[in-house]
Amino acid sequence: MLGVQNISRRTFLKSAGVTGALVLGANAATGSMIGTARGQSNGSSVKPNLFVQIADDGTVTITCSRSEMGQGVRTGIPMILADEMEADWQRVKIWQAPGDETKYDPAGKDAQNTDGSRSTRHHFDVMRELGAAGRYVLEQAAAKKWGVDASEVYAKDHRLYHTGTGQWFDFGEVVDAAADIAVPTGDAAPKLKDQSQWKYIGRDMPVVDSYDMSTGGATYGADISVPGMKIAVVARPPVYRGKAKSFDATEALKVQGVEQVIEIPALSDAMPAQFRALGGVAVIGTNTWSVMEGRDRLVIEWEDGPNVRHDSGTYNDELMASARAGGLVIRDRGNVDEALGSAAQVMEAEYFVPYFIHTPMEPPVALVDATQMPVKIVSSTQAPNETRQYVAEALGIEKSDVECQVTLLGGGFGRKSKPDFACEAAILSSKIGAPVRVQWTREDEIRHGYYHAASAHQLKAGLDASGNVTAWHHSGAWPSLVSLWNPVQRTGFPVEFGLGLIDTPYNQVPNLRIENGETDAMIRVGWYRSVNNIQHAFAMNCFANELAEAAGRDPVEFLLELIGEADVMDLTADGVEGHWNYGDAIEDWPIMPKRLSNVLRVVAEKSGYGKAMSPGHGLGIACHRSFHSYVGTAVHVVVREDGSLHIPQVDMAIDCGRYVNPEGVRKQMEGAAIYGHSVAMHGQITTTQGAVDQSNFHDYTVTRMDDAPLDVRVHIVEDFTHLRPCGVGEPGVPPYTPALVNAIYQATGKRIRRLPIGDQLESA
Amino acid sequence: MISMKINGVSRQFHGDPDMPLLWYVRDELGLTGSKFGCGAALCGACTMHVDGEAVRSCVTAVSEADGSEVTTIEGLDADGNHPVQRAWRAHNVPQCGYCQSGQIMSAAALLNENPDPSDEEIVDGMSGNICRCGTYQRIFSAVRTAAQEV
């Protein structure tokens, strides 16, 4: 239980610069009350979090401390607080918090980093507590004004009612009496509402930014300008960790609007890339077009460095060889070798997934003013506090001397939790003595990103004479994202294992071994929506489908048998130590095979699985647990004679435990199907002599409306809503591709084992 | 000198006539509703209307708009209540919202030209605009809804 605090009006005005009357905060660091009355918090050394404010006109302003990138967090999280507080949503405003984890991370779990599909699951409890505290304070204040006992007062729909007389106050009318009221903790803490009294949690709510987003009024990273600001683009080394040997800016400087060309130093060889600036040559001027034109006229001689040997043609083959070799055993149950040796039938298949890049519609952008202290950042960042940290490092100052204002994000998908672009702006601002906005172009985003790891997978299984799976062996290899911190890292690490590999859900298989092979990272590797779950779900769901066929079994019944109905799957029984469970305790979010089987059954039923399909049609199914949620996906595909595809219908069943905004869940699933369709059909980054081959949407294609599934039906599973909230932003992506690939097999008899599908069906 | 009306206001531009309309509007006029997504007419985030036709303003030189009437998302409707904008809200279309100005401008131009588009015509008309959040299903429905109102 967190301590929830009623902070005085003056303190809040001073600390947050927002007008208001009654403000509540929570403190996760101490877990206790820090002071309750006016002025007391001034004497405390601990800074409180600040989440709700009630003005004397009754307007309730709720703080959103998570970054909005389309996942609906500015709607969903405040809904929880408003519900518990009995606020009227029509009178709620959202205030976007700047980066300050000492104030705005009430759960104390993720320092405001908005990634890992964790906002709702980490904030559900604390937002309810903050809302309940708000309701408590208002009820006490009303009681004080009436001179009655608070037990005679209750809050409902933005009003405080007196049970005896039926009199009521609007929330705003008691603000003057509320400022000194203490919020008790422990057993005396304000009671949370019973679920039957929820008025917003579990109900459809449109996004709060809908009007702004439909009128051009929504503010993103490049939409804020400050006086004296300059705009910059940067020419970066084409090969990861390359350097500018020399450059000639003569022609660039002739472009009208270009003012300066200066170098951003390359990282020293001893410095891991992390989220630091890559280095390069910056063109700075008065408008975006001029500096882009100027950059085109730079003449730069690059020194490529050792990653020039990074050629996708050979690298991908090496990855597959590494997967075959395996080596690091991360989970081992029974005796796989013996079981394979005695199997009636041994099956083997290899799968490959290439590099992807995020391509959020808004390319990275940051504005930094390093001419004053504190340094000010304005950015569409997923991680405002890491942005502060890396900017501070780039400038050689303390993080506490850096502020970060968070705008809306024009998509994130993991790219914008890596603030290299803000470091560039900080370095340039400091060098030229003016605020600088660094604008990445689409070409920059595609060529100089943090790439979703390419990966190779070898799977083997043994079947007995009855078609039962007696052994399952999965060996995968990929460049690890740990290489950002430790460039010589050659294996994966627990986070990557935990992304749907070590927790392979085929719990009923008696002999099971999972291995990881070694490889070098020769490009920046970074997380991408649903991360390694993409390739893991692809390989295992497709291989299970191949096994079902070999066993002469229905694929869904076969999967249900592999997964089983156990309450929990205990990885420690298979010798797994230090399992990374999405950063959460396994007791709080266990791995529950029965929930995976459940979504599989639901999606099979809803999609009409099992019905006769016309020639050229297929209905494929896959399921996967990620970010604690369970998703089953059914894709209906039509493969035309020319090999082109049409997707008449997609069904998705999601069990995300306690959900908050079902409309938000549906939107995330619809979007995940489209995102998954891009992964399946299009996504592919390749390199030649270390440089990325693709540059814009003509050669890095993504799903458009004309190849998108336009009938995605989302089925929110209600059976486990008594359990904790689970992730929603990412879990819809992984099962889409294997469901499509399995559907294609049913339609055509062709197995796709290498992504993207691209034109593989046309050449068949 | 280049002259045009932008959202009904007369403007004179004295700079490089090759500058794309997008950057004139964003950087010099401070109208930031039109977005930069690709710079190559591949994604549609920058879509504006020039004399009623949808153009990709990231590749449309200011000189090409000389003497024209330019409409950006800010000028589509004074109250933000163009039938397309209302339909967008009714269908709760946006996720991140970044591409939606361009989507709405493309949809408005499509319906201006063809008030009763078939499903295929909606798909054809909207496939130049990319949405990475994957809101196509709702965009498709919203265009259908808006078509009934225009």
pLDDT in tens, A22-74: 565 554 333 322 223 222 222 221 122 379 888 889 999 999 999 999 999 99
pTM: 0.95
Cβ pair B108, B117 in contact under 8 A: no
Q: Is residue A4 over pLDDT 50?
A: yes
pLDDT in tens, A489-505: 999 999 999 999 999 99
Task: Please judge whether A411 and B31 are an interchain contact, meaning their C-beta atoms are less than 8 angstroms apart.
Answer: no
Q: Is residue A21 over pLDDT 70?
A: no
**Which overall architecture, per CATH, does domain B83-149 show?**
Orthogonal Bundle (1.10)
pLDDT in tens, A205-257: 999 999 999 999 999 999 999 999 999 999 999 999 999 999 999 999 999 99
For A627, the token pair is: 């970010």
Task: Please judge whether B89 and A210 are an interchain contact, meaning their C-beta atoms are less than 8 angstroms apart.
Answer: yes
Task: Please judge whether B133 and A359 are an interchain contact, meaning their C-beta atoms are less than 8 angstroms apart.
Answer: no
**Distance (Å) from the alpha carbon of B133 to chain A's nearest alpha carbon:** 5
**Distance (Å) from the alpha carbon of B118 to chain A's nearest alpha carbon:** 14
pLDDT the model gives residue A269: 87
ipTM of the complex: 0.99
Task: Give me the mean pLDDT over the A377-394 stretch.
Answer: 98
**Count of CB atoms situated within 10 Å of the CB of A102:** 15
Cβ pair A438, A366 in contact under 8 A: yes
Mean pLDDT (chain A, rounded): 93
Helices A555-563 and A593-607 cross at an angle (nearest 10°) of 160
Task: Please judge whether B97 and A223 are an interchain contact, meaning their C-beta atoms are less than 8 angstroms apart.
Answer: no
pLDDT in tens, A439-482: 999 999 999 999 999 999 999 999 999 999 999 999 999 999 99
Q: Are residues A417 and A477 in the same domain?
A: no
A762 in a structural domain:
no
Integer Rg of chain B from CA:
15
Contact residues, A window 471-490, toward B, CB-based 8 Å cutoff: none
pLDDT in tens, A105-127: 989 999 999 999 999 999 999 99
pLDDT the model gives residue A557: 98
Distance CA A370, CA A437 (A): 11
* A747: enclosing H helix or E strand: helix A736-748
Q: Is residue B120 over pLDDT 90?
A: yes
Distance CA A320, CA A477 (A): 7
Q: What are the angstrom distances between the C-alpha of B98 and each of A360, A410, B130?
A: 9, 5, 10
Q: Is residue A764 over pLDDT 90?
A: no
Optimal mutation site among A204, A705, A712, interface B, most CBs of chain B within 10 A: A705
Q: Is residue A190 over pLDDT 70?
A: yes
* DSSP, res A220: B
pLDDT the model gives residue A5: 56
Q: Are residues A492 and A385 in the same domain?
A: no
Q: Are residues A616 and A713 in the same domain?
A: yes
Q: How confident is the model at residue A573 (pLDDT cuts 50, 70, 90)?
A: very high
Q: Which residue of B has its CA nearest to A217?
A: B33
Q: Which residue of A has its CA nearest to B124?
A: A706
- Residues forming beta bridges with residue A234, ordered by sequence position: A282
A484 in a structural domain:
yes
Q: Are residues A280 and A421 in the same domain?
A: yes
Distance CA B68, CA B64 (A): 8
Cβ pair A615, A721 in contact under 8 A: no
pLDDT in tens, A577-617: 999 999 999 999 999 999 999 999 999 999 999 999 999 99
**Count of CB atoms situated within 10 Å of the CB of A372:** 8
Q: Are residues A294 and A155 in the same domain?
A: no
* DSSP, res A175: H
**Distance (Å) from the alpha carbon of A567 to chain B's nearest alpha carbon:** 34
Task: Give me the mean pLDDT over the B22-41 stretch.
Answer: 98
Domains of chain B, residue spans: 2-76, 83-149
Percent of chain B with pLDDT over 70: 100
Contact residues, A window 661-720, toward B, CB-based 8 Å cutoff: 663, 667, 670-675, 678, 696-698, 702-706, 708-712
Integer Rg of chain A from CA:
27
Q: Which residue of A has its CA nearest to B34?
A: A216
Residues with Cβ < 8 Å from A700, sequence gap 6 or more? Answer: A357, A359, A446, A682, A683, A684, A685, A694
pLDDT the model gives residue A725: 98
Percent of chain A with pLDDT over 70: 93
Distance CA A292, CA A276 (A): 22
Q: Are residues A253 and A122 in the same domain?
A: no
Task: Please judge whether B89 and A222 are an interchain contact, meaning their C-beta atoms are less than 8 angstroms apart.
Answer: no
pLDDT the model gives residue A50: 74
pLDDT in tens, A329-355: 999 999 999 999 999 999 999 999 999
pLDDT the model gives residue A22: 54
Task: Give me the mean pLDDT over the B58-68 stretch.
Answer: 98
Distance CA A100, CA A403 (A): 8
Burial A576-610 (b: 16+ CB within 10 A, else e): beebbbbebebeebbbbbbbbbbbbbbbbebbebe
**Distance (Å) from the alpha carbon of B103 to chain A's nearest alpha carbon:** 9
pLDDT the model gives residue A10: 36
Ranges A75-89, A129-143, A561-575, B57-71: which has the least confidence: A129-143
Cβ pair B136, B103 in contact under 8 A: no
pLDDT the model gives residue A41: 29
The sheet carrying A22-27 orders its strands as A3-7, A22-27, A52-54, A60-64, A92-96
Task: Give me the mean pLDDT over the A378-403 stretch.
Answer: 98
Measured between beta carbons, the chain B residues lying within 8 angstroms of A408 are 96-98
Domain boundary among A215, A243, A263: A215
Task: Please judge whether B136 and A212 are an interchain contact, meaning their C-beta atoms are less than 8 angstroms apart.
Answer: no
| Pairing status of strand A511-516 against strand A375-379 | unpaired
Q: Are residues A498 and A424 in the same domain?
A: no
Nearest to B140 among A256, A292, A705 (CB): A705
Q: Which residue of A has its CA nearest to B27?
A: A287
Optimal mutation site among B95, B101, B105, B106, interface A, most CBs of chain A within 10 A: B95
Q: Are residues A374 and A519 in the same domain?
A: no
Task: Give me the mean pLDDT over the A184-188 stretch.
Answer: 89
**Distance (Å) from the alpha carbon of B66 to chain A's nearest alpha carbon:** 19
A596 in a structural domain:
yes
Q: Which residue of A has its CA nearest to B104?
A: A214
Q: Are residues A493 and A431 in the same domain?
A: no
Optimal mutation site among B6, B19, B35, B96, interface A, most CBs of chain A within 10 A: B96
- Residues forming beta bridges with residue A62, ordered by sequence position: A52, A94
Q: Are residues A302 and A319 in the same domain?
A: no
pLDDT the model gives residue B150: 83
**Distance (Å) from the alpha carbon of B61 to chain A's nearest alpha carbon:** 11
Q: Is residue A180 over pLDDT 80?
A: no
Domain that holds residue A377: 221-306+364-439
Residues with Cβ < 8 Å from A25, sequence gap 6 or more? Answer: A4, A5, A7, A48, A49, A50, A51, A103
**Which overall architecture, per CATH, does domain B2-76 show?**
Roll (3.10)
Distance CA A84, CA A81 (A): 5
Task: Give me the mean pLDDT over the A684-712 stretch.
Answer: 98
Q: Are residues A381 and A489 in the same domain?
A: no
Q: Is residue A318 over pLDDT 90?
A: yes
Would the CATH topology of B2-76 be identical to that of B83-149?
Answer: no
Task: Give me the mean pLDDT over the A683-695 stretch.
Answer: 98
Domains: count for chain A: 3
Q: Are residues A300 and A390 in the same domain?
A: yes
Q: Is residue A1 over pLDDT 50?
A: no
Domain CATH for A298: 3.30.365.10
